Amino acid sequence: VSAPFRRTAGGIVVRLRPAEAALIAKLADQLLDLLDERAPAAAGPADPLDAMVGLAGPAAEMPQPPPDPVLSRLLPDGYADDAAASAELRRLTESDLVSGKRAAARALRDGLGAEKLPLLDEEQAQLWLGALNDLRLALGTRLEVTEDIPGQLRRLEHNDPRRAGFTLYEWLIEVQATLIDILDRN
């Protein structure tokens, strides 16, 4: 059994099997689709002049947290107790947050979709690490994972379709953990 990543003198080698690489690339593609849903809302108030002269209006016109639980986990509120301040911060920072996450997911998808798996430098590996983490946040939120996954699995019926999701999720933990380990030892 070979580890999914290995550090060599020339960089970090990706040793995923073709089917594994294709699977992660597909998940990254789905994440990109999901983040697309948030692109227009992140643009801020519709009329820039209104915003400039302070007519952007009350909370109703401020960007709201995404209704989708996965998106709201990826793009959370900045204040625990202040919806107006959260909306204002979201207006200032969300579009950068979305484009950063998109860039990382694209790097992961394109790298894994290439004919020959790339050799990663430190910066690329960090980008992949962030994207892998976002994939786990998305899948884990959909599955409503807790810190007791074995307990959750015990409560699922044998033929529950979520079992496959949990298997995938646990495999992604291993993949990500290997990369953390490699980056951490540098």
Partner 1 sequence: VAVSTGSAASGGTLAPEQLERPDQDERSTPDRPWVTIVWNDPINLMSYVTYVFQKLFGYSKEKATALMQDVHYKGRAVVSAGAREQMENDVARLHSAGLWATLQQD
Candidates 2-10, 14-22, 30-38, 90-98 — which segment interacts with partner 1 by CB under 8 A?
A: 90-98
| 104, 128 Cβ separation under 8 angstroms | yes
Backbone angles phi, psi at 70, to 5 degrees: -70, -45
Q: Note whether 73 binds partner 1 by CB under 8 A.
A: yes
Hey, what are 151's tokens?
Answer: 């307990």
User: Which position among 43, 119, 156, 180 is part of the footprint of partner 1 (CB under 8 A)?
Assistant: 180
Beta carbon of residue 58, minimum distance to partner 1 (angstroms, whole number):
17
> If you ran DSSP here, which 8-state letter would residue 7 be given?
E
Distance of CA 10 to CAs 6, 7, 50, 103, 113, Å?
11, 8, 53, 24, 21
- # residues contacting partner 1 (CB under 8 A): 41
Distance of CA 136 to CAs 6, 73, 111, 131, 152, Å?
21, 11, 18, 9, 17
Candidates 28-36, 106-114, 115-123, 144-152 — which segment interacts with partner 1 by CB under 8 A?
A: 144-152
Instruction: Between 81 and 115, name the residue whose CB sits nearer to partner 1.
Output: 81
Q: Note whether 134 binds partner 1 by CB under 8 A.
A: yes
Hey, what are 155's tokens?
Answer: 């409560």
Dist CA 27 CA 13 (whole Å) = 21
The burial of 159, by beta-carbon neighbours within 10 Å (0-12 exposed, 13-18 middle, 19 or more buried), is given as: exposed
Candidates 4-12, 22-30, 131-139, 155-163 — which segment interacts with partner 1 by CB under 8 A?
A: 131-139
User: Which position among 32, 106, 141, 168 is part of the footprint of partner 1 (CB under 8 A)?
Assistant: 141
| 45, 56 Cβ separation under 8 angstroms | yes
Q: Note whether 82 binds partner 1 by CB under 8 A.
A: yes
Q: Note whether 157 binds partner 1 by CB under 8 A.
A: no
Q: Note whether 76 binds partner 1 by CB under 8 A.
A: yes
Residues that bind partner 1 (CB under 8 A): 72-82, 86, 89, 92-93, 96-97, 100-101, 126, 129-130, 133-134, 136-137, 140-141, 144-148, 151, 173, 176-177, 180-181, 183-184
